[in-house]
Amino acid sequence: MSFRDSFRLIFLRLAPLSFILWLPVSQADWHGDIKLLSDYVYRGYSKSRGNPIVQANIDYQDTSGWFAGLGVSQVRFDDQQYADRAEIEIKPYLGWSLPLSTDWRAELSVSGYIYDNKIFNHSADYAEFYASLHYQGWLSARASIAPNAYQRHADVANYELTYRRDLLDTVQFSAGLGYNQAGALLGHDYFYWNAGLSWFATPYLSIDVRYVDVALPNQESEDHHDDFYPRQQENKYLFSVTLGF
């Protein structure tokens, strides 16, 4: 069994494991949320063809620094001509957070992207590995690598910088800048960015309004057949409502 196939099997086992971990555990912290988004924009392209979708996530954090979770999201790519197209994305993840000082914290994690069916007529399950560095609560940097992204024989690296600032007790400004080295997958590398406001209406309810943009060349109007060509998202406002616990 290849290295990549081994990780795929690990992630396929993480979903039931996450359910087992729901049993009460001392010195542990559980969080979850359900989110409604106007569009599932991911690193400059849409995973929902510009349509609203629903996501759910459950997360377990241990005081030793280990964390694990499971996310589920609707997806809809521009492959609607295929009857076996994917409609659900499952994202199990596992990681470790390490305090470096009173201000700095490092984090290592791995995530799986598992789909209920094919994407552009191909199996697309894959894994991605992350390394993050956080300064206090307002600045984060993250680098990641996805070997064989979407099973398209393309290794994709991504880099992100995120800034957060509390404007009021219940209002936070945040912005992000990313660079996606996706030339082997999409035909080009590109920058993407966002900026927006989050209003924490209650401890369990938040509303986010965000502007997103991306520096991508225009897609050619040719027949891509079964190529991977997700829809680009430029100059767009996104809205989301999150109910958490």
Q: Is the pTM of this model over 0.75?
A: yes
- Supply the pLDDT for residue 8: 52
Q: Distance between the two ends of the chain, CA-based, in angstroms?
A: 40
Residue in this structure with the two tokens 């007529």, named with its chain if needed? 121
**Tokens matching residue 123:** 């199996």
Mapped onto helix, strand or coil, the DSSP state of residue 170 is: coil
Three state DSSP letters for 36-80: EECCCEECCEECCCCCCEEEEEEEEEECCCEEEEEEEEECCCCCC
Burial label for 39, CB within 10 Å (0-12, 13-18, 19+), is buried
Going across the sheet that includes 45-46, the strands are 41-42, 45-46, 231-232
DSSP-assigned beta bridge partners for residue 96: 66, 108
Q: Give the Cα separation of 3 and 155 in Å (integer).
A: 14
H or E segment at 132? strand 126-135
142: enclosing H helix or E strand = strand 139-146
* Tokens representing residue 111 in the block: 């995530």
DSSP state of 147: T
pLDDT of res. 20: 42
Max Cα separation, the chain? 57
What pLDDT, on the 0 to 100 scale, is given for residue 27? 54
Tell me the residue type at 71.
G
Torsions phi, psi of 39, nearest 5?
-165, 145
Spatial distance between the Cα atoms of 206 and 160, rounded to a whole number of angstroms: 23
Give me the average pLDDT of each 10-residue run along the chain (245 residues). Answer: 48 46 58 96 92 96 94 94 94 97 97 96 96 97 97 96 97 97 90 97 96 77 60 89 94
Classify residue 155 by burial, with Cβ atoms within 10 Å: 0-12, 13-18, 19+.
middle
The phi and psi torsions of 15 (rounded to 5 degrees) equal -60, -55
Place of tokens 């789909």: 115
- Give CA separation, 30 vs 22, 75, 90, in Å: 8, 26, 19
| Cα angle value 174/175/178 (rounded, 5°) | 145
